[in-house]
Structure 1
Amino acid sequence: MKKCVFPTLFEWNHYQEQPPRLSVWEHQERPLTPDPNLDAEQEDIDFDVERTGHDYCSVPEAAAVDMVLHENEELKREIEDVRKQLEQTKMIHRFGLNRFAGSNEDIRFYTRFATYNHLMAFWELIEPATHRMIRVTNSKVFKEPGNTRALPAIDEFFLFLMHLALGLKQMDLGHRFQVHQTTVNRIITTWANFLYFVLGSVCIWMPKEKVRAHLPEEFHQFRDTQVILDCTEIRCQTPSSLLLQSEVFLNYKSHCTFKALVGMAPHGEITFVSAL
């Protein structure tokens, strides 16, 4: 056989010659040749209209333009409504402070603050200092301020309050806020240290004049009262060390407890809590 010659007779084509393939130009009709007598500009316009069926030089009617603009505006409004609904749905399903902002009963249950306004008033006092917060990354390493957070600062504070108020386990809090259990542990440790230093620097002892100005009626005969002292106890695990057992065991309750001295102003504000 000669070079570049291929067999063409096979059993599947009944050993017959196949017609040659048509070229690309032969598969479709060639466009008509423009009339050379027409003006060059008119020639181009007619040629485009004949091929596409549309005159791109023509101006659309004003009614059609208005209809398209009106449809675009309606589509924009629909997109905006869908976006708002999506954000509201995310807000409902996401566990955070904003989810319970409208219910003072839920705020009292989860945080022990009386109302949402009370909680936000306290947050406004400590929020400026949160930007300088030193964050705990593990048991021995601390991060400087300005690092990214797994949760917004207000939700971290809400998580910490839930841990104090309800005693929820870290795994439970992680499922609620959709973060890892290790992250919950670091948030709790960070906020415990932060609030200890921030609130520990505040003078909680009220002046005598202010205490007398807010004395309840029951204390009018005891106008010199500045603080009411009482002791409280918290049950704890029995230590393995006999020395520690002797220090924390309480015969009255027959159990190991931590003791604390609590001071309260006559009108009900806690003004002193000793170390356990």
Structure 2
Amino acid sequence: MKTEGDVVLQQVFLQLEKDRRLLQTEKDAVVAENNSFKSEVQALTEENMHMKEKLASVTWCEDSFRDDDNKVKYYTGLPSFVLLMALLKELSPHITTGPRTATTKFQQLLMVLMRLRLNLPIRVISDMFILSESTVSRTVLKMIDVMFDRLKHIVKWPNKDELWGSVPLDFLHSFGKKVTVIIDCFEIFMETPSSMDPKCKTFSHYKHHNTMKFLIGITPQGSVSYVSKGWGGRTSDKFLTENSDFLDHLLPGDLVLADRGFNISESVGLRCAEVKIPAFTKGKRQLSAFDVESTRKLAHLRIHVERVIGIIMQKYPILDATIPVTFLSKSEGDQFSTLDKVVTVCAALVNLCPSVVPFD
């Protein structure tokens, strides 16, 4: 027979069990709500990432350039989408991608072309492609190496058949089929080096700035046929020409057109070739009629190399900006600096575009 105490104890146990079940129900509800919140956060995160990827792929994919040559010209400097895709096809086997690569081969090519074409800071490109700055920097440098290796053959010294098979009429009338190359130097501004020796070697009295100087040669047809490595801006045109490998390309009978700073008749003559520069007035009261006419013809034709230099700078303004000192660094075992490669790549890309020299 139950006592009064047993009844009270039983009621206490029943209440405790009721409270325990209520707490468990509340706990299960909290856990379920927490799991639901986590699932919702995860879903939103995945959706956000998907939308970012979709935005990047829609904005910077082949389809967004396919029917818009003006967009191609603006972002790459190339005249058409067809040429852009032909360039991608040439480079594609040498562009690395993998499961962890956040960009396509097209986007990697587009990034480096936008860097050259618009001189966009790495930070801006990283925001446009939703990538880290370090990833963009590595990609651009890697693509510069790939493009240099695959495109440097476009800047080539032509053989005589290629050269003289389509000489523009202006050159035929003035010099016949003799002109092989028109040369000039151009300078690219650079940051002031911290060390005194490089600072002195790169200071250009002509530009009043620290620069790197390049020798460039073009054919009568207007294509870039030679680009030297970069030399300090203090280097004279004559010294650069005679100490680069330019003279090694000359053959007997070749004719070189140059400006007055290229006093290289002797070194060119040792190759059984000839150089023509404008006549000097120093020591003369005036030029003879023959010298005046010769100088006029020479200036009329030599201006084409200045036009080509202008086109390179205009199409790829990274060369018209102040280059960081890091662009002068070379990888171990590499004889070309990053700037050497950039200049060659830009010249090669300009060679893919229509010439500025009229044939007629």
Extract unaligned runs of 5+ from structure 1.
Answer: 8-85, 134-144
Extract unaligned runs of 5+ from structure 2.
Answer: 12-50, 231-360
Q: State how 1:174-253 maps to structure 2 within 5 Å.
A: 174-200=126-152, 204-221=156-173, 222=175, 223-253=177-207
* CA offset digits 1:162-203 (Å, max 9, x no partner): 011111111100110111111101101111122222234667
1:104 matched residue in structure 2: 69
Q: State how 1:28-43 maps to structure 2 within 5 Å.
A: none
Identity %: 25
Please say if residues 157 and 191 of structure 1, whose CA atoms lie closer than 8 Å, have aligned partners that are also in contact. yes
TM superposition shift of 1:218:
1.5
2:210 match: secondary structure: strand
TM superposition shift of 1:253:
1.8
1:117 matched residue in structure 2: 82
* CA offset digits 1:227-262 (Å, max 9, x no partner): 221111111112222211221111122111110011
Structure with the largest fraction of helix: 2
User: In angstroms, what is the RMSD of aligned CA positions?
Assistant: 2.8
Greater Cα shift, 177-186 or 209-218: 209-218
Please say if residues 91 and 98 of structure 1, whose CA atoms lie closer than 8 Å, have aligned partners that are also in contact. no
Number of equivalences: 184
* Amino acid in structure 2 at the alignment position of 1:108: K
TM-score using structure 2 length? 0.46
Q: Return the index of the structure with the highest Cα Rg.
A: 1
Q: State how 1:79-98 maps to structure 2 within 5 Å.
A: 90=55, 93-98=58-63
TM superposition shift of 1:90:
4.6
TM superposition shift of 1:267:
1.5
C-alpha distance in 2 between matches for 1:260 and 1:203? 14
The structure whose RCO (Cα within 8 Å, separation 6+) is larger is 2
1:260 matched residue in structure 2: 214
TM superposition shift of 1:125:
2.1
Question: Cα 1:156–1:92, aligned 2, differ >3 Å: closer, same or farther?
Answer: closer
TM superposition shift of 1:112:
0.9
Please say if residues 155 and 226 of structure 2, whose CA atoms lie closer than 8 Å, have aligned partners that are also in contact. no
1:244 match: secondary structure: helix
* Amino acid in structure 1 at the alignment position of 2:114: M
* Amino acid in structure 1 at the alignment position of 2:82: N
C-alpha distance in 1 between matches for 2:57 and 2:90? 27
TM superposition shift of 1:153:
0.7
C-alpha distance in 1 between matches for 2:87 and 2:178? 30
